[in-house]
Chain A
Amino acid sequence: MPAILAIAVNDLRLLARDKAALFFTLFFPLGLAVFFGAIFGGGGGGSKLDVALVLEEDGPKARAFAEALSADSSLDVVRQTDAGTPLTRDEGETLVRKGAVSACVVVPKGFGGGIESIFAGGGIKLEGYVAPGRGAEAGLLTGKLNELAFRQMASGLSDPAEMTGMLDRARSSLGGDDSIPDENRRLLTDMFDRIGEVNKTFGGLNPGAAGGGDSAGSGGWMPVQVSLTELKDESDRPRSSWEVSFPQGVVWALMGCVTGFGVSMSGERSRGTLLRLSVAPISRGQLLLGKAAACFFACLAVQALLIALAAGVFGGLMGQFRVGNPLMLAAAMMVSAIGFTGLMMLLAGLTRTEGGASGLGRGLIIVLAMIGGGSIPLFLLPGWVQTVSSISPFKWATISIEGAIWRGFTWADCALPFGVLLGCGVLGFAIGASALKPAERA
């Protein structure tokens, strides 16, 4: 074990000293991820928040609210299905679950009646759903819905005829409720009378001028109630271009590791250090495991670093990158590291010199990386290319990582890509190890 560790540590130190290898292993993939993420739109949908709107009531007040919501410049409102029918609650919820929209607002039955009976204990109630991890958007939407609902309520209060109706309904409701103590009943009747006089004198009320608009600051009486529920993620598309570009960056980082360590191992042969290692009192298995361990840890480290950067910068700060299943991502990174370590052993075993390894690495491996989703996201590639790309382990690494981030994979979905990567690792190690020994020379 100490010998394996010594070999692995030495190889990692050699990688750290090789500026070109370090650049292609870490900084180049990071630059690519940021570049492609930025040019493909970052957050994906510009600054507008995409919202599905479900009208469960078809009254004039509900329609007026829908119009006001649709007209808001900060929102992109979807009201119909692809077939042109109005969205139902289930359809709106599904759109959120699938990541098609960030949130869904439901105008429930009784919406109009709630406004009309605002002095009789009613109020505006709005419901909705938000996608997971969209706390910032949920807050923005709640504020926007409160604003629009208060505006809707204010328009009713500023209409004298509607105001008179509201007060009549309130008096009627008061009269029919025996549970209200006489003293309170007298005070409320007096208040409704005075409001009625103001309504007649000034032609309606203006609650906005009285500081209305904050449902939370009304001492328990909440004329506007917005209830948003966070849904479980079932999205099958990325929330932002970062969720595509960083898995791509990971692919290039893996390629950097494969090429860097492959070239380094071939270099051991050409500069004679493999011979010195071969005569050291260690077994061939220890030597190969030490070499493989260095590549494995490097693959794991660059993947973790890139994903952590993406999650921290584009997820934590901007809310545009989120790992759907962290445990699955860890497993995906692990099997990707195993698969690409095998690929590195194969590259080192099949080439005799650093030049050969570099040529094969930057030729064949780059092609495999490109068709495997390294340049153009897999889901944007033509069907036949996606079929051909199945020969590329980069494809399976990309799918595994995307599966854990935004594809919503189950563990059963992971079986194929994980299996391919593990197979690639074992096969590559076996072939590479058998080919990698110092040549007998006269």
Chain B
Amino acid sequence: MIEWNAVSKSFGTVRALRDFSLRIGQGEVFGLLGPNGAGKSTAIGVCLGLVRPDSGTIAIAGMGSPDDPRTRRSIGAAPQAIALYDELSGRENLRYFGRLHGLGGSTLTRRVDQVLDEVGLLPRAKDRVLGYSGGMKRRLNLAAAIVHDPPILLLDEPTAGVDPQSRNNILDMCKALSQRGKTIVYTTHYMEEAARLCTRVGIIDHGALLATGTVAHLIAEHGGESVVTITRTDGTETRVATPDPVRHAAGLIGDATVQGLRIDRADLESVFLNLTGRSLRD
């Protein structure tokens, strides 16, 4: 559906993308996981035609170049920055963006109300965006990306800086969109979001795609072994790396010197740590 083929892009001395190759299939929810400045937004920008690659190509199956307005009509983009008109109401914002995507008449009215309802903003539809909370603006930012019901969604950190309620709303929304068969590229540096939402995840750092796969596959491949931490009655602590932490912990039952046990399973954080040598939030 979307294919980056050996894409490289530099901004001055900063190499934002390095030989970036990735193929995302139809109906997939692909999480692009990496810290700030890893190259996630650049990868999205190339797909939107906003960033011209120095080398490499981008292909969107069944459509032309991202510069072609017809291709853009099939893409919905929620930029990382909130891109809305504060002076307009939520409904006016969506009507405007819907109109630019070719909607009109009763179709536009129906879609705008439907999307406002889906993001939980219908009761505040007539209020100016200026009076919205950060979370409400984020939800409207997402609504503006889906108002024209595109088959492909490029969501660039759609939950950045929002409250838990809005985050849940956005994640539920993405889940629902996925169930409707949308192809979603979701960039984030929150591993729990990627784990909860994505069918596949790619780890990106310094512009390079380090690994891709399902969450389970990445953990199994790059997460390393789980760690069992044993605290004894004399105050000493022992850490044991094991592929089967439950079996190891079960063997310690009945040992009177054991005061406590903690099992740390491998996760995407440990995948990132093992692949890059640093934490995801560094």
Residues of A within 8 A of B (CB): 2-3, 6-7, 10, 13-14, 17-18, 271-273, 275-283, 438, 440-442
Q: Is the CB of A271 within 8 A of B83?
A: yes
Q: Is the CB of B72 within 8 A of A273?
A: no
- Chain-A contact segment, one of B39-47, B220-228, B266-274: B39-47
Q: Is the CB of B72 within 8 A of A281?
A: yes
B75 proximity list for chain A (CB < 8 A):
279
- Give the residues from 71 to 127 in chain B that come closer than 8 angstroms, CB to CB, to chain A: 71-73, 75, 77, 79, 81-88, 92, 96-97, 99-102, 104
B11 proximity list for chain A (CB < 8 A):
440-442
Residues of B within 8 A of A (CB): 11, 14, 16, 37, 39, 41-42, 45, 48-52, 69-73, 75, 77, 79, 81-88, 92, 96-97, 99-102, 104, 144
Report Cα–Cα, A3/B101, bound state, in Å: 8
A438 proximity list for chain B (CB < 8 A):
50
> For A10, A282, A442, which residue has the most chain B Cβ atoms within 10 angstroms?
A442
Task: Beyond the given A10-B88, A275-B79, please list 18 additional residue pairs across the A-B interface where CB-CB is below 8 A.
Answer: A6-B99, A7-B100, A10-B96, A14-B88, A17-B88, A18-B87, A272-B82, A272-B83, A278-B50, A279-B48, A280-B100, A281-B71, A281-B100, A281-B102, A282-B100, A440-B51, A442-B39, A442-B41
Question: What are 30 inter-chain pairs, A to B, with CB distance below 8 A?
Answer: A2-B104, A3-B99, A3-B100, A6-B96, A6-B100, A13-B92, A17-B88, A271-B82, A272-B79, A273-B83, A273-B84, A275-B79, A275-B83, A276-B97, A276-B144, A278-B50, A279-B75, A279-B77, A280-B101, A281-B70, A281-B102, A282-B100, A440-B51, A440-B52, A441-B11, A441-B45, A442-B11, A442-B16, A442-B39, A442-B41
B104 proximity list for chain A (CB < 8 A):
2
A279 proximity list for chain B (CB < 8 A):
48-50, 72, 75, 77
Report Cα–Cα, A282/B52, bound state, in Å: 18
Indicate whether A14 sits within 8 Å of B85 (C-beta atoms), given known contacts A277-B100, A442-B39. Answer: yes
Report Cα–Cα, A174/B144, bound state, in Å: 100
A441 proximity list for chain B (CB < 8 A):
11, 41, 45
Report Cα–Cα, A272/B81, bound state, in Å: 6
Report Cα–Cα, A441/B40, bound state, in Å: 11
Closest to B71 in A: A281
Indicate whether A440 sits within 8 Å of B81 (C-beta atoms), given known contacts A280-B72, A281-B102. Answer: no
Report Cα–Cα, A13/B75, bound state, in Å: 27
B14 proximity list for chain A (CB < 8 A):
442
B71 proximity list for chain A (CB < 8 A):
281
Closest to A437 in B: B50
B70 proximity list for chain A (CB < 8 A):
281
Q: Is the CB of A276 within 8 A of B79?
A: yes
A18 proximity list for chain B (CB < 8 A):
87
Please provide the 6 A-B residue pairs with the shortest distance between their CB atoms, ordered closest to farther.
Answer: A272-B83, A281-B69, A281-B73, A272-B81, A281-B72, A17-B87
Report Cα–Cα, A7/B50, bound state, in Å: 20
B6 CB to nearest A CB, Å:
19
Report Cα–Cα, A6/B92, bound state, in Å: 12
A269 CB to nearest B CB, Å:
11
Report Cα–Cα, A300/B14, bound state, in Å: 47
B206 CB to nearest A CB, Å:
11
Q: Is the CB of B69 within 8 A of A283?
A: yes
Closest to B104 in A: A2
A281 proximity list for chain B (CB < 8 A):
69-73, 100-102
> For A10, A278, A280, which residue has the most chain B Cβ atoms within 10 angstroms?
A280
Report Cα–Cα, A10/B48, bound state, in Å: 24
Report Cα–Cα, A283/B51, bound state, in Å: 16
B130 CB to nearest A CB, Å:
10
A6 proximity list for chain B (CB < 8 A):
96, 99-100
Q: Is the CB of A440 within 8 A of B45?
A: yes
B16 proximity list for chain A (CB < 8 A):
442
B87 proximity list for chain A (CB < 8 A):
14, 17-18
Report Cα–Cα, A272/B87, bound state, in Å: 14
B142 CB to nearest A CB, Å:
12
A10 proximity list for chain B (CB < 8 A):
85, 88, 96
A7 proximity list for chain B (CB < 8 A):
100
B115 CB to nearest A CB, Å:
15
Report Cα–Cα, A21/B163, bound state, in Å: 34
B176 CB to nearest A CB, Å:
22
Closest to A18 in B: B87
> For A275, A277, A283, which residue has the most chain B Cβ atoms within 10 angstroms?
A275
A17 proximity list for chain B (CB < 8 A):
87-88
A277 proximity list for chain B (CB < 8 A):
100
B150 CB to nearest A CB, Å:
10
Report Cα–Cα, A387/B12, bound state, in Å: 45
Report Cα–Cα, A58/B37, bound state, in Å: 98
Report Cα–Cα, A279/B75, bound state, in Å: 9
Report Cα–Cα, A271/B100, bound state, in Å: 18
Report Cα–Cα, A441/B16, bound state, in Å: 9
Q: Is the CB of A276 within 8 A of B41?
A: no
Closest to B42 in A: A442
Report Cα–Cα, A279/B66, bound state, in Å: 9
Report Cα–Cα, A276/B147, bound state, in Å: 13
B79 proximity list for chain A (CB < 8 A):
272, 275-276
Report Cα–Cα, A271/B75, bound state, in Å: 21
Closest to B73 in A: A281
> For B52, B69, B82, which residue has the most chain A Cβ atoms within 10 angstroms?
B69
A442 proximity list for chain B (CB < 8 A):
11, 14, 16, 37, 39, 41-42
Report Cα–Cα, A134/B14, bound state, in Å: 74
A356 CB to nearest B CB, Å:
18
Report Cα–Cα, A4/B226, bound state, in Å: 59
Report Cα–Cα, A273/B140, bound state, in Å: 13
Q: Is the CB of B39 within 8 A of A282?
A: no
A14 proximity list for chain B (CB < 8 A):
85, 87-88
B42 proximity list for chain A (CB < 8 A):
442
Q: Is the CB of B100 within 8 A of A273?
A: no
Closest to B74 in A: A281
A139 CB to nearest B CB, Å:
52
B72 proximity list for chain A (CB < 8 A):
279-281
Report Cα–Cα, A227/B96, bound state, in Å: 64
Q: Is the CB of A282 within 8 A of B69?
A: yes
Report Cα–Cα, A277/B52, bound state, in Å: 17
B199 CB to nearest A CB, Å:
25
Report Cα–Cα, A108/B52, bound state, in Å: 86
